[in-house]
Structure 1
Amino acid sequence: MMNRLKALICGAILACTGAGAATAQELTMAVWGGGGANTWREAFIKQFAPGNGSTIKMVEVPNPAGALRSPAAANQYSLALVTYFEAIALSNAGLIESFDDKQLPGIADVDPKYLTKDKAGRHVGLPVYFTYYGIAYNTDLAKAEDLASWQGLADPKWKGKLSLTRPTYLAPYDAVIMAKAMGGSEKDIDPGFKLLEKIVPNVLATYTSLAHMNTLLTRGEVAAVPFYASRVWALRRQGAANVGIVIPKEGALMLPYVVVVPKGAKNLDKSLVWMNYIAGAEPQLRAALLDGWLPMNSKVKLPEDLQKTLGQPYEQIVKSLYSPDWRIIVEHNEARVDRAEKLLSGVKQ
């Protein structure tokens, strides 16, 4: 009986050890909830076969960068998808790992001007794809020519027919591209806020999530909104024929997304295998075909039919985009978010 008991105990210990080992091999990556997580699964995870026993699990959260600010982040997540300005802010706060070229050889196919580095010149993340921030509109209520300029949003005819995002993103996104449109820049932000002051009287409500904005736009509750091109393309693929996206004559804001690793996260070697895999041309092409995510890998060649869906050639889109100095944006972000909060204080949510 005693021998049998010992055998059962040993078996239980081995089972637990095996389960622990399996869990240790699983990488968890924090991403925004919604369709984006599905694209990661379809375009990247399904074809991932590292040969080292590791698996990838997408964990959908409201704000991946916010999740990494938790003291427990290193134990909860192996990686996270964040925006450029969030990657820089997390790096400045010492909350994410940094890497050299040897650790991330896949980064060699990214245009150097789009790399995110810390003050020591080390990579703070892997740029995977980008979208752009233009003007989305309901085609039943507005025309592309109505929105050929960012200043078009200030036209009184749009009173009660527009929407804007929350201050958290209004400050680093809307204010910056509108400053550029009005002759300023991320360094000279006043022209952007002055234009926003003229637009706010036309705003019906600020949107609190992408799903919220999708509803407002497709139902015609608002005519136009500064929004993400990838979300408009996704809506159109889902059957919403009454939405479009405009790159105003002054340009649209380029929004790259970066995969980062929490400081002290386990299985760093396996996370690097995953990062170098997603840096490749093939998975990035699949993501472009599925969800309109524009590749950061310069070797990706988009097919003609996809470029027609995008409305213009890839190269032309890139030429129309404004890529600011995100370090300047991070440096001044807190004060600008406060300014945006005051600006929107009278707008309902």
Structure 2
Amino acid sequence: MNKFLTIALMSFSAATWAQTNELVVSAFGGAYTNAIKAHIAEFERANDVRVKFVPGSGADALAKAKAKQVDVVHADVGWANRGEAQGVFEELEPAKIPNLATTFARARFSKYGVITNFGQYGIAYNPKLLKAAPTSWQDLLNPAFKGHVTTAGFDFANVELLVLFAKQNGGGEDNLEPGFKVMEKLGQNVSVFYSQHPQLLDLFRSEDVWLARWLRGRVDWANKEGGVDLKFVVPKEGAIGLASTVHVVKGTKNKALAMAFVNYLLSKNSQTQYAVALGYTPARADLDPKTLGENVPYGEVVVNSLLISDWKKLAPNMDQIKETWEKRVVH
């Protein structure tokens, strides 16, 4: 009798394990996903779920969402607006995501998504090669630095820079032409547009690059990796904001779990991990700054100072903006 009972219990246990829910999350790869994974077991135990991360960003992430291949999507503000316009996301339910109430007002992206963390794009530079620290985004255009300046290829942060230059010259989100005229000058100073963070680190190590548009957290990472001693400055016009959003995919069969996962991302533990691991400013407004690390800017003043454009105007025109960028800025 005991033998049969043991076998039955083993079978029941195996069946229960096999029925454990799986939540599929599309997230930015590498360090970003690793920062979430570091303590994801806490969420998995509490919700009897296994979280499966799949790399995805931009068009790829939205394609996975439309095909119902994922339950949760991370995005930047440009693709977040595209997803909303295309009806890809569920409305967030505040009753199921009580941590929404703990976030900075600017983090409440829309009823379809929330910003989980903010990054600062500024100017990274090698103090050994520059006589004076850069003070403005205009310094990237200085002819004295020709061939030793870089920025990433076409990405949302370059669109933010494009908008900034447009606004400085009488334009804006609705009129980018003045910005493109300035960006053409920037393109003439760039010998290579970097695509990966390790690539830019190597360019700084070889001293081919003297200054670049880069993330504050990545400058800290580069210095820890070794071979460089870079400095980071927020230009007088302000830091370009990197805002990472999270969304529940419309029609997911795991809607309740997906809402719970969003709530977890806004928990104190998860928010602190973003800061410690990535150098990003948390979206949660009630954290102790002492727990975030000395190089992590924090607070409502920091969040509200970030340069973030009106992406509801920009997102529908991204294909055209990219085409113009490739023709006029990249040489």
TM-score with structure 1 setting the length: 0.81
1:206 aligned counterpart, secondary structure:
coil
CA contact (8 A) 2:36 2:273 kept: no
Q: 1:28-81, CA deviations, whole angstroms, 9 ceiling, x for partnerless residues?
A: 222222222221122x414435533112233234x3552331477413x22121
In structure 2, the residue matched to 1:21 is: 19
In structure 2, the residue matched to 1:292 is: 279
CA contact (8 A) 1:88 1:124 kept: no
Shift of 1:304: 8.1
In structure 2, the residue matched to 1:57 is: 52
Shift of 1:313: 6.4
1:29 aligned counterpart, secondary structure:
strand
Could you tell me how far apart the structure 1 residues matched to 2:156 and 2:251 are?
A: 28
In structure 1, the residue matched to 2:327 is: 342
Could you tell me how far apart the structure 2 residues matched to 1:39 and 1:139 are?
A: 30
Q: 1:226-264, CA deviations, whole angstroms, 9 ceiling, x for partnerless residues?
A: 122222222234345422222110111112111112332
Shift of 1:170: 5.8
In structure 1, the residue matched to 2:60 is: 66
In structure 2, the residue matched to 1:80 is: 73
Could you tell me how far apart the structure 2 residues matched to 1:51 and 1:315 are?
A: 31
2:47 aligned counterpart, secondary structure:
coil
What 5-or-longer segments of structure 2 have no aligned partner?
1-6
Q: Say whether residues 1:114 and 2:74 are aligned partners.
A: no
In structure 1, the residue matched to 2:4 is: none
Identity within the alignment, %: 26
CA contact (8 A) 1:65 1:90 kept: no
In structure 2, the residue matched to 1:258 is: 245
Q: 1:10-30, CA deviations, whole angstroms, 9 ceiling, x for partnerless residues?
A: 99x9899656523xx122222
Q: Structure 2: which amino acid aligns with 1:29?
A: V
CA contact (8 A) 1:131 1:294 kept: yes
In structure 2, the residue matched to 1:236 is: 223
Cα 1:186–1:217 change in 2 (3 A) is farther
Report which stretch shifted further, 278-287 or 63-72. Answer: 63-72
> Which of residues 115, 118, 123 in structure 2 aligns to 1:135?
123
Q: Structure 1: which amino acid aligns with 2:73?
A: A
Cα 1:277–1:93 change in 2 (3 A) is same
Cα 1:241–1:164 change in 2 (3 A) is closer
CA contact (8 A) 1:67 1:73 kept: no
Number of matched residues?
325
Could you tell me how far apart the structure 1 residues matched to 2:184 and 2:78 are?
A: 24
CA contact (8 A) 1:200 1:344 kept: yes
2:23 aligned counterpart, secondary structure:
strand
What 5-or-longer segments of structure 1 have no aligned partner?
1-7, 118-122
TM-score with structure 2 setting the length: 0.85
2:60 aligned counterpart, secondary structure:
helix
CA contact (8 A) 1:254 1:323 kept: yes
1:300 aligned counterpart, secondary structure:
coil
Could you tell me how far apart the structure 2 residues matched to 1:255 and 1:84 are?
A: 8
Could you tell me how far apart the structure 1 residues matched to 2:96 and 2:15 are?
A: 30
The correspondence of residues 129-168 of structure 1 with structure 2, limited to 5 A, is 129-142=117-130, 145-168=132-155
1:284 aligned counterpart, secondary structure:
helix
Shift of 1:148: 0.5
In structure 2, the residue matched to 1:120 is: none
CA contact (8 A) 1:127 1:296 kept: yes
Could you tell me how far apart the structure 2 residues matched to 1:55 and 1:267 are?
A: 12
> Which of residues 31, 40, 46 in structure 2 aligns to 1:45?
40
In structure 2, the residue matched to 1:330 is: 315
In structure 2, the residue matched to 1:212 is: 199
